[in-house]
Amino acid sequence: MSLRAWKLNDLDEIVSIEAECFSDPWTRRMLADSFLSDRFVGVLLEEDGNVTAYGGMSITLDEAEIELVAVSEMYRRCGRGTQIMEELLRIAKKRKVKKVFLEVRVSNSPAQILYLKSGFRGLHCRTRYYPDGEDAVVMVKELG
């Protein structure tokens, strides 16, 4: 298993996991554009030549926003989501980030539990945040 930064030729696999996981997935163009930004950090887990999990965040000065976390369906509940979160938080800390934010659908209990276990706490709710009208919970973690 290797935990490493995204490369351009990982995009096909990431696009396909995005489609499997989300009703409003990041498009290939959005994912490809992330390579144009110095602020974006993308990490993934590769196992036997396949991408099984990934995460992405944007860092602006001393704040970061985790924008993507996903684990391919058949690989869930084995700690991969936790590993991705730990890696993003490690990188954020190294870059002297003080606060990390994220948004999660109110209905997405698996992700909310993962984030709570990763040290995030709920901050407030954003009404009708998602394109289908679902609310988001905004969560934050302060880094020491």
Interface residue with ligand COA, options 79, 96, 98, 99 (CB under 6 A): 79
> CB of 99: closest distance to ligand COA in angstroms?
17
Considering the complex, state which of residue 3 and residue 21 has its C-beta at the smaller distance from ligand COA. Answer: 21
Using CA atoms, how far apart are residues 110 and 5, in angstroms rounded to an integer? 25
Using CA atoms, how far apart are residues 110 and 97, in angstroms rounded to an integer? 26
Q: By CB under 6 A, tell whether 122 contacts ligand COA.
A: no
| Residue with the shortest CB distance to ligand COA | 81
Q: By CB under 6 A, tell whether 56 contacts ligand COA.
A: no
Binding mask 85-114 for ligand COA (x = CB under 6 A): -------------------x---x-xx-xx
Buried b (16+ CB within 10 A) or exposed e, 32-48: eebeeeeebbbbbbbee
Q: Which residues are catalytic?
A: 103, 115
Strands 99-105 and 63-71: parallel
Q: What is the arrangement of strands in the sheet containing 50-60, beginning at the earlier edge strand?
A: 2-5, 40-47, 50-60, 63-71, 99-105, 136-142, 121-126
Q: By CB under 6 A, tell whether 82 contacts ligand COA.
A: yes
Q: Which residues bind ligand COA (CB under 6 A)?
A: 21, 69-71, 76-82, 104, 108, 110-111, 113-114, 117
